[in-house]
Amino acid sequence: MKLSTSELTLEFKNFYQLVVTCHGEHKHTKVSYYLIKDQEVIEKIQYSRNHSHTFNLHERGRYRVKVFIRNPEGERTIKTSEDFRYKDFETKDHPVYQQKIYSIVGVHRNAAFIKLLMEKHNHIRSFIDPTNQYCGQTFFDLPVESLEDIKGENVTLIALEDLELEDYQTESYTLKVSETNILTNNLHRFLAMDLYKLSRTFYENGLTKGAEYVKDFIRHKFNSYIPYTAEIGEGTKLGYGGIGVVIQKSAKIGRNCTISQHVTVGSRGKQPIIGDNVYIAPGAICIGGTIGDNVVVGANAVVTKDIPSNCVVAGVPAQIISTDMEKYEKYVKKE
């Protein structure tokens, strides 16, 4: 669409970008652009010497553009376009995405952790037992079927790489975190803390190989070490996805804590213990043993000894700098 007057041109680019051009003005003239939708100004562009501007339209409606022009002497004139209607992209006729139905080949620990990994974002129908030994039984809350049971059905098999299954739709996997396959594609959909919880679930169910696989993926993607053997309480989160975080394998971290990026939670012999509602700022190193509840650890602090509850520490080595927690209440979340 193109709307032109002797003074203004409005033209659409890429179907939703409205290019407004002001004609015949001196190069030193300054121009301001107002985008008006349904009688309301929704975007203002400050005065500049740009005699053209592009608005990105996001919603359907009736629009017009008002342009304010100021010459070097300070005199102002106004130009207004005709009204026009913008319909936005039509989406109602787009095809509906059909979620795939998967079955996992094998009845073993690897198949179990794949089910637990995949089920949040996918429809998993069953396990497939090529040997027919376990058919008719239940494994991790799913039925065990034979290949014959799914023959001719719209089911995609998740199978170990190099497993030959002619006449069946298959997606293969390996347990190498650096490769792109159905497992790593699904792992990329999780945040670091969600991946830790997933690996912890594997560990608690005796699926150690799966727990190691996810731990390695966390290190590969986030450059972090967040072991499934560490105990991390509900509500605790990692800043910026947990980039550069290192947590000792026996660490115990409480509820509703925030562990910022590039934080180390370790020890010098003692088990690292962090209480509830603790905020650890970026770059801090905590190797002193126990940190109490409702504590703020400052950026780049080095904690070398036990820290009591309800205080703020900072410095190298970390020292208590405040016990007035009202000033820092936004950092410590209390339930």
pTM beyond 0.85: the answer is no
Could you tell me the two tokens for 77?
């004139």
- Ordered by where they begin, the domains of the chain are 2-86 (2.60.40.10), 101-187 (3.40.50), 223-328 (2.160.10.10)
Q: Is the pLDDT of residue 335 over 70?
A: no
Residue 177 sits at φ, ψ, to 5 deg, of -70, -15
The stretch 135-150 carries a mean pLDDT of 96
Inter-residue contact 253 to 259 (CB < 8 Å):
yes
Angle between helices 192-204 and 109-118 (to 10 degrees): 150
Q: Is the pLDDT of residue 149 over 60?
A: yes
Tell me the CA distances in angstroms from 16 to 10, 20, 41, 42, 88, one per residue in order: 12, 13, 18, 16, 7
Closest CA to 232 of 221, 248, 243, 219: 248
Q: What is the dihedral of CA 29, 35, 38, 41, to 10 degrees?
A: -80
Inter-residue contact 9 to 20 (CB < 8 Å):
yes
In angstroms, rounded to a whole number, what is the distance separating the alpha carbons of residues 161 and 131?
18
Closest CA to 159 of 182, 188, 131: 182
Helix (H, G, I), strand (E, B) or coil at 260: coil
89 Cβ contact partners less than 8 Å away, ≥ 6 residues apart: 15, 16
How many DSSP H helices and E strands does the chain contain? 5, 29
Q: Specify which residues 317 forms β-bridges with.
A: none
Could you tell me the two tokens for 129?
């037992």
Inter-residue contact 89 to 15 (CB < 8 Å):
yes
Between residues 1 and 89, which one has the greater pLDDT?
Answer: 89
- DSSP letter at 270 equals S
Could you tell me the two tokens for 318?
């970390």
Please report, rounded to a whole number, the percentage of residues in the chain having pLDDT higher than 70.
94
Q: What is the pLDDT of residue 329?
A: 83
Residue type, 289: G
In angstroms, rounded to a whole number, what is the distance separating the alpha carbons of residues 35 and 99?
41
Structure confidence at residue 86 as a pLDDT band (50, 70, 90): very high
Determine whether 276 is exposed, middle or buried from the number of CB atoms within 10 Å of its CB (0-12, 13-18, 19+): buried
Between residues 94 and 32, which one has the greater pLDDT?
Answer: 32
pLDDT one-digit tens code per residue, 285-294: 999 889 999 9
Inter-residue contact 99 to 122 (CB < 8 Å):
yes
The stretch 241-269 carries a mean pLDDT of 93
